[in-house]
Amino acid sequence: MVPSVRSLPQLAVSPTRFFEERPPAETLPIAAAVVVAFSITLTVSLLLVGSMLAGAVDATVTMDNPERPPDFVCEQHDDDPDSTFSEGCDEPKTIERDAGRLIEEAVSEQLWIGLVAPFVLWAIGTAVIFAGGRLAAGDPSFAGSAALAGWAALPEFARVIAGIAGIWYVLDDLTITDLDGAPAVLEAAMASIEPVLLIASAITLLWQWSILSAGLSEDADVSRGAAAVAVGVPLVIFFILGAL
């Protein structure tokens, strides 16, 4: 039975019962939709972070004027104003740009990460869960493993919300005027919310562990304990790597 939106709270409260009533493989379409939704959410979150960072910066940057040709071109064709190579040589060599705007542009260039990363992690998660089921002496299905890897994205929504809220809290009253010292200022400001973000990550990990343990136990036909170990080890490894 494919789960409806109304049945999703049961996944958080009682994942064992959820997957007993709905074999993981049959939930693959909705799990895939969760991954798509998370990809969109992550991309929007990156835009929000870029906007918040831009709002916290009150400074300008002197940079080369992209509208002006290189000096060697202008020097070579300076005596020929009709030359197409001399076009733009009357423009200033440098211009002042708003640093906040540059940050937004830089973040926008990285939005593909938010779109692609969830699907890459989905593929990796599918392989890890399938292998874990095999190592636990079970018989997991590929569709079931893919569905469970997709459901693992559900707790990530909570972590993203916590992260956005924390960054907003830090940057709300912060103004950066010295770009050279900006990294140190941001690092010091973020230190105040690191414990909260660590707790949010731990809760996310436990929620994912609960979902995957119950789902793998049902899909691979192994005990809950064996399934818990099979998914718990890679989850802890990912958690440690993410905390470094």
Lowest mean pLDDT among 2-6, 158-162, 240-244: 2-6
- At 157, which amino acid appears? F
Measuring CA to CA, how many Å separate 95 from each of 60, 89, 212? Answer: 10, 14, 54
Q: State the DSSP code for 57.
A: B
∠217-204-108 over CA atoms, to 5°? Answer: 120
**Over residues 42-69, mean pLDDT:** 86
Span 209-234, pLDDT tens digits = 999 999 999 999 999 999 999 998 88
Nearest C-alpha neighbor of 189 from the set 52, 59, 97: 52
Residue 230 to residues 130, 190, 202, Cα–Cα distance (Å): 10, 34, 18
Rounded Cα distance between 131 and 135, Å, is: 6
Question: Confidence band (pLDDT; 50, 70, 90) for 150?
Answer: very high
Helix (H, G, I), strand (E, B) or coil at 140: coil
Q: How far apart are CA 155 and CA 203, in angstroms?
A: 9
CA 73 centroid distance within chain: 43
Residue among 150, 108, 113, 115 nearest 129 (CA): 150
Give the pair of three-digit tokens for residue 38. 């998370």
In residues, how long is the chain?
A: 244
pLDDT at res. 13: 79
How deeply is 145 buried, as exposed, middle or buried, from its count of CB atoms within 10 A (0-12, 13-18, 19+)? Answer: buried
Q: How confident is the model at residue 81 (pLDDT cuts 50, 70, 90)?
A: low
Q: Give the integer Cα–Cα distance in Å for 221 and 133.
A: 9
Domain range annotation of the chain: 19-60+100-243
33: confidence class by pLDDT, cuts 50, 70, 90: very high
User: What is the H or E stretch that residue 97 is in?
Assistant: strand 94-98
Angle at 157 between CA 196 and CA 169, to 5 degrees: 40
Residue of 54, 81, 2 lying closest to 176 (CA atoms): 54
Contact indicator for 184, 66 with CB cutoff of 8 Å: no
Q: Is the pLDDT of residue 1 over 60?
A: no
Q: Supply the pLDDT for residue 5.
A: 57
Mean residue pLDDT of the chain comes to: 86
Q: Record the pTM.
A: 0.86
Cβ pair 78, 194 in contact under 8 A? no
- How far does Cα 142 stand from its chain's mean position? 25
**pLDDT number for residue 46:** 93
Show the 3-state SS of 13-49. HCHHHHHHHCCHHHHHHHHHHHHHHHHHHHHHHHHHH
Per-residue pLDDT, 148: 95
